[in-house]
Chain A
Amino acid sequence: DADVTQTPRNRITKTGKRIMLECSQTKGHDRMYWYRQDPGLGLRLIYYSFDVKDINKGEISDGYSVSRQAQAKFSLSLESAIPNQTALYFCATGDGPGGYTFGSGTRLTVV
């Protein structure tokens, strides 16, 4: 099994719909991250969590919310999806300054 598992791998949704992306990790790390990647661009941080009781906004949190259900689970929600949220979404975990382990990503298309 992968260290970081993201579901679904692909999703097409309609504008205005609520959608949740899920992430689970088996690394035992406290820190988890959600990133967004757009074509030709680097990764941008949406939200991050240092432990179950600690949630922090990243660079582009508007339009997104998260829930840290357990040490191993960190979900990302789009309350009302819009087309410019079409992107590749990555979950990551890490316990140090940068050696993150990433999931395989969720490709989200909002039509």
Chain B
Amino acid sequence: GESVGLHLPTLSVQEGDNSIINCAYSNSASDYFIWYKQESGKGPQFIIDIRSNMDKRQGQRVTVLLNKTVKHLSLQIAATQPGDSAVYFCAENMGDSNYQLIWGAGTKLIIKP
């Protein structure tokens, strides 16, 4: 079946450096992609999204890149801070009216002081 997966289960980054979290997807019909952040003891929190007709979108300290040719999605976090420590999930949506999401397994981001 179709799935969304992440290349690395854990990523360690020095505080102040940039973080790059990767995600591969397999459904070429997916129309919409979302990144969520889940801190310990909390529910997932929406970070940023991107539609399939875009290849880049920027937010506050975050950038999402979409490469439809290789079905790859990445989340870049600039100047990583301790508060960025969390598990990051990518999710995809088929773009139909059901709005159901297919979730990846998550990448744990660890910030080294």
Q: How far apart are the CA atoms of A92 and B49 in the complex, in Å? A: 17
Within 8 A of B (CB), among A31-52: 31, 40-45, 48
The range of chain B's interface size is 20 to 34
User: Quick one: given A31-B99, A42-B89, A43-B89, are A101 and B46 in contact (CB under 8 Å)?
Assistant: yes
Residues of B within 8 A of A97 (CB): 31-32, 93, 95, 99
Within 8 A of A (CB), among B33-89: 33-34, 41-46, 49, 89
Q: Across the interface, do A42 and B104 meet the contact criterion of CB distance under 8 Å? A: yes
B12 within 8 A of A: no
Min CB–CB distance B101 → chain A (angstroms): 6
Flag A82-110 by CB within 8 Å of B: 1 or 0 each: 00000000101010111111111100000
Residues of B within 8 A of A58 (CB): 100
Q: How far apart are the CA atoms of A108 and B33 in the complex, in Å? A: 30
Residues of A within 8 A of B33 (CB): 98
Q: How far apart are the CA atoms of A76 and B9 in the complex, in Å? A: 30
User: Quick one: given A98-B91, A98-B101, are A90 and B44 in contact (CB under 8 Å)?
Assistant: yes
Min CB–CB distance B45 → chain A (angstroms): 7
Residues of B within 8 A of A44 (CB): 103
Residues of B within 8 A of A31 (CB): 99
Q: Across the interface, do A104 and B41 meet the contact criterion of CB distance under 8 Å? A: yes
Within 8 A of B (CB), among A4-49: 4, 31, 40-45, 48
Residues of B within 8 A of A42 (CB): 4, 89, 91, 103-106
Closest 8 CB pairs of A and B: A102-B43, A42-B103, A98-B34, A97-B93, A97-B32, A43-B103, A97-B99, A42-B105
Q: B residues touching A (Cβ–Cβ < 8 Å)?
A: 4, 9, 31-34, 41-46, 49, 89, 91, 93, 95, 99-101, 103-106
